Amino acid sequence: VDDRKFPSPEQLSCEGRSAGGLLIGQSINEASELFKVALLGVPFVDVVCTMIDASIPLTVVEWEEWGNPNEEKYHQYMMEYSPINNIKEGAKYPSCLLTGGLHDPRVQYWEPAKHAAELRYKSSTESGPTCIKIDMTAGHFSASDRYKYLKELAFDYAFVLDQLGIAKEETNE
């Protein structure tokens, strides 16, 4: 990273939503040292448990893309890239903010909640904080109100800036 004049890992954050949250979840499992902060919005991180349940909307139609974990030939392969199943014991993870919506039919609120709990349980005490925010009125696409959306975006960016050490509290001295 540094050879090509990119910022150091202490200056990098990453973000992904839904299936992009899967990418970020597995990226920090594979190379947690590359990032200081990770934002995982409505992250699809419990791949096998979600995809195994045919009653969840969109699951059966997505077996063609993701694989059907009810079939042995796909089950192990999916376990290998499912972020929640690959959190490393004792690893130092970046600061993480996971978000979800109570009314999300695609990525249920318990996926970011379970993932946050697993990160807190398995990661090193040197890891950054793992925070979770569940919007009790939102679905998969977050706030539909423009001002609420901007407020949520500001919250996410405030977390990133704080964890990168860029946000500084002003004092009147």
Instruction: Kindly list the catalytic residues.
Output: 18, 104, 140
Which tokens go with 88?
């490393």
What is the pairing mode between strands 95-101 and 37-41? Answer: parallel
Q: Are the C-beta atoms of 9 and 33 separated by less than 8 Å?
A: yes
E strands, the chain, in order: 13-17, 37-41, 95-101, 130-135
Partners of 97 in the β-ladder = 39, 131
User: Which residues have CB under 8 Å from 63's CB, separation 6+?
Assistant: 51
Q: What is the CA radius of gyration of the chain?
A: 17
